[in-house]
Chain A
Amino acid sequence: MLTTTQNTMPDRLVKNELEAAKRTIRFFEAILRSTNNGVIVTDAAKNIIVANDVFCVFFGNTLRNVIETNLFVWLEQLDGKAGEQWAALAENVCRNGFSQDVCFQKTTPDGVRYFSVNASLVENPDTMEQGIIVSIWRDITLQRQMENEIISSERLAVLGKVSGSIAHEIKNPLGVIDSSAYYLGLKLKDADEKIKTHIDRIKSQVKKAAGIIQNLVDVAKMKEPYTKTAGIHEIIENVLTTLNLPQTIAVKKKIEDALVAKADKEQLEMVFRNIIANAVQAMGECGILSISGQEKHLEKNRFIEIRIQDTGPGIMPEDRERIFEPLFSTKTTGIGFGLTICKMIIERHGGTITVESEKGKGAAFILQLPVTHEETA
């Protein structure tokens, strides 16, 4: 009898303690679940021994398939030398007990995501094991995008100021060169062909320079669009004729005949010219240029969507976010205005311009313009 009592008493206590321990575990699990940051704990060999769902979602996975795997496996799925970055961070943590924020980035089909990560050493009185590290992963993609937009608009403002004054300073000497060339042309009416060619060249180059300056001014103080009903079909035809596409580029058009927008025809032409010229340049020797235009409905919204697709090399994911920034160009001869202007024009029309691209599979620019009530009437 005595032995039974001795056995049951501690049993009950053990049971209570076990229940309490389980409650504590559930509480800590709830904390991990509640934060919107990714949290992981790694042991000395960088095996993930604790993780929350947020972290796993960052890597498109579930907790079940992330727990008890090695962190380096997931670091390999980040851009650049994330493994080396982590090794440096971990060394810092082991030396100082914590790390500064380190930024990692991950390219996904939907664009680049940014993570700000910091880590600290776990002091665990229960185990002698050294090197257990807890790290907090914060998704800062939105913040990054906003920062980029601010940078982009600041650049635009600076550009506006600078280009305004530069334009002023350069326009005058250009005017002088232009009239001098005109004068020379009159005076040397009987000169030989070579001299005439050179004079023409001066004139045409001056015109080109003036055009670039005008672009600068346009970016700086873009004129409000002068809108009236404009036929999309006609605008695109105009652009295609003036662009003089090489024979080796096949053009596939599928534009609804009656597709009209309330738009500034000249500005819209500028947009299409820019995008189509880029597409043709990207395709090089040969390729297929597909242009489609149609009216679309999304719930109650009606809008016009024009899609311009090329079969060029495509746009790198990291470039995709930057191509609309002023002064960003991947072309050796570009200045980086074209798409900035396009975006400004479309946005002033109340529309949007986006790009879809996969490396090696070409790029598609998608323009959406609102349909106004007058047209639907």
Chain B
Amino acid sequence: MPIQWHKTTCPYCGFGCGLMAGVEDGKIVEIKGMPGHPANDGMICTLPSNSVPVFYAEDRLTKPMIRRDGKRSHVSWEEAIAHVASRFKKIIETHGPGAIAIHSGATCMTEEYYLMNKLIKGCIGSNNIESSTRLCMASSAMGFISTIGADAPPACYADIEQADLFFIAGNNMAISVPALFARVARSKGKNGAKVIVVDPRRSETTGIADIHLQIRPGTDVALNNSIAHVLLKEGYVNEEKVEEYASGIKDLKELSEDCPPSRAAEITGCPEQLIIDAARMIGRSKAMLVFWFQGYNHSTQAVFKNNTLHNLWLLTNNFCKPGAGPLSITGECNALGCRWVGGLSHLLPGMRMVANPQHRQEVADFWGIPAEKLHPVPGRSIIDIVSGLHSGDVRALWVIAANPAASLPNTKWILEGLSKAELLVVQDIFHPTETTRLADVVLPAAQWCEKAGTYISSERRIELADKIIDPPGEAKPDCEILWLVARAMGFEKEFPYSSPEEVFGEFKQITSGRICDMSGVTYERLRGNTGIQLPCPDVNHPGTPRLFTDRYFPRADGRAALLPREYLPPKETINEIYPFVLITGRQQWHFNTGTRTKRIPYLHQRAPDNFVEIHPHDAAQLRIQNGDEVEVSSSRGTTKGFAQISGRVLQGNIFMPIHYGGAINNKDARLANLVTNNVCDIHSKQPEYKFSAVNLTKSLPC
């Protein structure tokens, strides 16, 4: 039988490439880019193109397991579901709903987030639900809310070909979003667009930069404020016009007065003239497209970095027109879907907030529950959930398609917390992962292509990733596991579903009238097609490429807010004992904690072990040579990797990839998070992964 090709959407990063999965004899045999797709037009990066082994890896989970007396053994689904439901109920009875928490990845499907939310917020009465979006885009979301009044990324990918300037900050898109980078590079080559890259590291992306501002880690706010200073001083800002669509210019002028480029040069370490040149380039641009990722968000000043970046496109009138605006790319494929369903502890479905009584009332009415059932105070952030496990205030954690034992900062503290859980349920496609190793109950899930559901990409494009093949063994789709557990807990009436399509049909009703309106989206419209950009209020609506084109922002006075935020240094400071700054990041062969990519031999062989990028000067001083094993230690722990001596990092900085937990293929002490800091931005609760004070030494031969 010839290969049959099915259209689907990529399950890795949040760019949302259209893919074609080739099936032969009921098995996926090849994955290709989809020609004509609005995101990638046939392009494909190494992660999905090599992903076939993920379906057939030996350690795929096929049967539920329960750990009793320290030993894990296979059980039937009936037993596993009954066990989980009764333990949850017992813990709620004894310790209250706040003792339960759910943590999911940001690659789950929209329908799954909806069920998790309905179960924990609507039925159990706890707001403790967190997805890895907290570790990824929480700060971008808060930045959007404070500056433009809603977590609604306004720009779209079609802007890439129309931009004359790309401002790329804290973002190595050449590695993390290759399809996007290819489009940006092509637009530069074809249209002569300029590129400014802000990154403490001379990353692969800086290769196409006209200006690379190699700032000291964590100093973006100082840089942005000084760019605003130049824009305002040198007449690049039409203040009267700005006041029509944005408030706060007077306050911003006052602040930027104190932030001349000379001062920013001292703080950031960048030459003053380069900052001025960059500012002028921004001032002259007619269509500036702005990208920023985790270099911004993994910081204790993350939200303020976002705010001060937004100031720049607002000041220069670079928004919501072709080629211009802020375009945040999410790290995981359905992070935006997660945010819009309310997959964080302070959110409710349909871009609603826990803290807003009217929103609680609307959701309660929709679910047919009394409004008092929805707890009025935001729940715990993921780091607070772990604190709660330590203190005993949180007793049970249900992890769904996430790997907190490797993904969260300060691993030792995290592992201690997870081990204290009275009940740790982990739902995954593989065992072992760093987290399933600690689980009391392991539930085998179906993955991408083995179940149906929707993803929402970074340009608000909702696409259907349909079921193409059957899951292995007894593995079940996450939706089904969720509704089975919910029903076993006594919520039969609330969880009457028999398909994800039904779940979507219910969820989309609560988005009606919101910016994420999906009322006009049906599985039928999505099937085989390349998705619809939200909002899409009715079935004949073609979707919305750009938001706020009427220049009306959803804030009280209809204007966006220019926010004058002050620069503060990162939480930790280097000292005699820990004289280096560690920044962490990704590399092209692995994705996040590597649960999938380490099981792809082609990828894993290319990057089998962790490395530490060290500036030649520092290496010489410590007598470290290329390939030496080195130890990186902080007040929280120690990790190891092989020295890679490179002028890409600043002197005094070191860089490590994040992927190397110890569950498979590796030794335990290779994970960067063993040394990273669990201190968070107070506004977004996002940890400062990208600034840890560490020491660096050559490992002694054993």
A45, B353: Cβ atoms closer than 8 Å: yes
Q: List 8 additional A-B contacts (Cβ < 8 Å) besides A64-B563, A91-B376.
A: A44-B358, A45-B359, A46-B353, A64-B566, A69-B146, A70-B142, A72-B378, A90-B357
Task: Please tell me if A127 contacts chain B, counting CB pairs below 8 Å.
Answer: yes
Report if A130 contacts B (CB, 8 A): yes
Instruction: Report whether A45 and B378 are in contact in the complex, using a CB–CB cutoff of 8 Å.
Output: no
What is the 8 Å Cβ interface bit string for chain B, positions 346-371, against chain A (1 contact, 0 not)? 10000001011111000000000000
Determine the distance from Cα of A321 to Cα of B566 in the docked complex, in whole angstroms: 35
Judged by a CB distance under 8 angstroms, whether A131 is at the interface is yes
Chain B contacts for A127, CB-based, 8 A: 556
Find out whether the CB atom of A45 lies under 8 angstroms from the CB atom of B355.
yes
In the complex, what's the smallest C-beta–C-beta distance from B419 to chain A, in angstroms?
Answer: 25
CB distance from B201 to the nearest CB of A (A): 28
Does the CB pair B251–A64 fall under 8 Å? yes
CA distance in complex: A132, B563 (Å): 21
Which residues of chain A have C-beta atoms less than 8 A from B565's C-beta? 64-65
CA distance A330 to B459 in the complex (A): 60
Given A90-B357, A91-B357, A94-B357, is A129 in contact with B304 using a C-beta cutoff of 8 Å?
no
Interface flag for A43 (CB, 8 Å): yes
> Counting CB contacts under 8 A, is A239 at the interface?
no
A73 near B682: Cβ-Cβ < 8 Å? yes
Shortest distance in angstroms between B558's beta carbon and chain A's nearest beta carbon?
Answer: 10
B261 within 8 A of A: no
Question: 3 smallest A-B Cβ distances: which pairs?
Answer: A87-B376, A45-B353, A68-B146
Binding site for A on B (CB under 8 A): 142, 145-147, 251, 255, 303-304, 307, 346, 353, 355-359, 376-378, 556, 561, 563-566, 682-683
User: Which A residues from 43 to 91 make CB contacts under 8 A with B?
Assistant: 43-47, 49, 62, 64-65, 67-73, 76-77, 83-84, 86-87, 90-91
Measured between beta carbons, the chain B residues less than 8 angstroms from A69 are 146, 303, 683
In angstroms, how far is the closest chain A Cβ from the Cβ of B371?
10
A68 lies within 8 A of B377 (CB): no
Contact with B along A279-314 (1 / 0, CB 8 A): 000000000000000000000000000000000000
Query: How far is the CB of A49 from the nearest CB of chain B, in Å?
Result: 6
Chain B residue at minimal CB-CB distance from A130 = B358
Pairs A–B under 8 Å by Cβ, sample size 13: A44-B355, A49-B556, A64-B563, A65-B565, A67-B563, A68-B307, A69-B683, A77-B682, A84-B377, A86-B377, A94-B357, A131-B357, A131-B358
A50 to chain B, nearest CB (A): 10
Determine the distance from Cα of A67 to Cα of B250 in the docked complex, in whole angstroms.
14
Smallest CB separation, A17 vs chain B (Å): 14
Contacts of B147 in A (CB 8 A): 68
Report the count of interface residues on A (CB-CB < 8 A). 30
Of the residues B358, B561, B682, contact of A68 by C-beta under 8 Å: B561
* Most chain B C-beta atoms within 10 Å of own C-beta, residue among A64, A90, A91, A127: A64
Chain A residues in the interface with B (C-beta under 8 A): 43-47, 49, 62, 64-65, 67-73, 76-77, 83-84, 86-87, 90-91, 94, 127, 129-132
Q: Which chain B positions have C-beta within 8 A of A65?
A: 304, 565-566
Whole-angstrom distance from the CB of A371 to the nearest CB of chain B?
42
- Inter-chain contact A87/B146, CB cutoff 8 Å: no
Residues on A with C-beta less than 8 A from B146 are: 47, 68-69
B355 touches A72 (CB 8 A): yes
Residue of B nearest to A25 (CB): B250
Known contacts: A44-B356, A91-B357. The answer to whether A68 contacts B563 by CB under 8 A is yes
Determine the chain A residues whose CB is within 8 A of the CB of B304 once the complex forms.
65
With contacts A64-B564, A127-B556 taken as known, whether A72 is within 8 angstroms of B377 at the C-beta atoms is yes
Interface core residue of B359, B377, B378 (most chain A CB under 10 Å): B377
Is the CB–CB distance between A87 and B377 below 8 Å? yes
Chain A: minimal CB distance from B383 (Å): 12
Given contacts A64-B251, A76-B682, A91-B376, contact A70 B566 (CB under 8 A): no
- With both beta carbons as reference points, the residue of chain B lying nearest to A81 in the complex is identified as B377
Query: CA of A252 to CA of B359 in the docked complex: distance in angstroms?
Result: 63
Please give, as numbers and ranges, the residues of chain A lying within 8 Å of B303 by CB-CB distance.
69
Known: A69-B146, A87-B377. A131 touches B356 (CB 8 A): yes
B374 to chain A, nearest CB (A): 11
Q: In the bound complex, do residue B357 and residue A44 qualify as a contact, i.e. CB atoms below 8 Å apart?
A: yes
Q: Which residue of A lies closest to B681 (CB)?
A: A73
Residues of A within 8 A of B357 (CB): 44, 90-91, 94, 131
What's the minimum C-beta distance from B548 to chain A, rounded to whole angstroms? 17
Given A49-B556, A65-B565, A70 and B376 contact (CB-CB distance below 8 Å): no
Q: Are A83 and B378 in contact (CB under 8 A)?
A: yes
CA distance A77 to B303 in the complex (A): 18
Measured in the bound complex, the distance between the Cα atoms of B95 and A222 in whole Å is: 51
Question: What is the CA–CA distance of A208 and B44 in the complex, to the nearest angstrom?
Answer: 88
Between B146, B147, B355, the greatest number of chain A beta carbons within 10 A of the residue's beta carbon is seen for: B355
Specify which chain B residues have a CB less than 8 angstroms from the CB of A70 in the assembled complex: 142, 346, 355, 683
> Closest CB-CB distance, A61 to chain B, in whole Å?
9
**Contacts of B566 on A, CB cut-off 8 Å?**
62, 64-65
Q: How far is the CA of A281 from the CA of B502 in the complex (A)?
A: 67
Known: A64-B255, A72-B378. A46 touches B556 (CB 8 A): no
Note all chain B residues with C-beta closer than 8 A to A84: 377
Q: What's the nearest-Cβ distance from chain A to residue B441, in Å?
A: 31
CB distance from B682 to the nearest CB of A (A): 5
- Nearest CB in chain A: distance from B541 CB, A: 25
A84 to B127, CA, bound (A): 13
Please measure, in the bound complex, the distance between the C-alpha atom of A69 and the C-alpha atom of B682, giving whole angstroms.
10
CB distance from A327 to the nearest CB of B (A): 31
Interchain CA distance A338-B563 in the complex, whole Å: 55
A49 surroundings in chain B (CB, below 8 A)? 556
Bound: A67/B147 CA distance, A:
11
Residue of B nearest to A67 (CB): B563
> Shortest CB–CB separation between residue A78 and chain B, in angstroms?
13
> How many angstroms between the C-alpha atoms of A30 and B353 in the bound complex?
32
By a CB distance below 8 angstroms, the chain A residues around B255 are 64
Chain B residues lying within 8 Å of A62, measured Cβ to Cβ, are 566
B366 to A: closest C-beta gap in Å = 18
Residues of A within 8 A of B563 (CB): 64, 67-68
Across the interface, A73 reaches (CB within 8 A) one of B145, B353, B561, B683, namely B683
Q: List A contacts of B353 (CB < 8 A).
A: 44-46
Q: Report A-chain residues with C-beta under 8 Å of the C-beta of B682.
A: 73, 76-77
B433 to chain A: closest CB distance in Å? Answer: 32
B377 touches A83 (CB 8 A): yes
**Distance between Cα atoms of A312 and B563 in the complex (Å):** 46
By a CB distance below 8 angstroms, the chain B residues around A45 are: 353, 355-356, 359
Residues on B with beta carbons closer than 8 Å to the beta carbon of A72: 346, 355, 377-378
Closest Cβ–Cβ distance, residue A132 to chain B (whole Å):
8
Shortest A121–chain B CB gap in Å is 11
* B378 neighbours in A (Cβ, 8 Å): 72, 83
Tell me, in angstroms, the Cα distance from A86 to B354 when the chains sit together.
13
Complex formed: what's the CA distance from A71 to B255 in Å?
A: 23
Nearest chain B CB to A63's CB is how many angstroms away?
Answer: 8
Query: CA–CA, A69 to B556, complex, Å?
Result: 15
**Which one of A46, A76, A94 contacts B355 once the chains associate, using CB atoms below 8 Å?**
A46
Chain B residues with Cβ below 8 Å from A67 are 563
Residues of chain A within 8 A of B356, CB atoms compared = 44-46, 131
Q: Given the complex of chains A and B, what is the CA–CA distance between A207 and B564 in angstroms?
A: 71
**A129 and B556 form a contact (CB under 8 A):** yes
Residue of A nearest to B301 (CB): A65
Residue in A65, A77, A127 whose Cβ sees the most chain B Cβ within 10 Å: A65
Q: Are B251 and A47 in contact (CB under 8 A)?
A: no
Closest B residue to A18 using CB positions: B243
Chain A residue nearest to B384 (CB atoms) is: A76
Residues from chain A with a CB closer than 8 A to the CB of B346 are 70, 72
CB distance from A159 to the nearest CB of B (A): 39
Q: Tell me, rounded to whole Å, the shortest Cβ–Cβ distance linking A164 to chain B.
A: 47
Provide the bound-state CA to CA distance between A131 and B357, in Å: 8
Q: Which of A67, A71, A84 has the most CB of B within 10 A?
A: A67
Task: Please name all residues of chain A whose beta carbon is closer than 8 Å to the beta carbon of B355 when the two chains form the complex.
Answer: 44-46, 70-72
Give the one of B357, B376, B561, B566 with max A CB within 10 A: B357
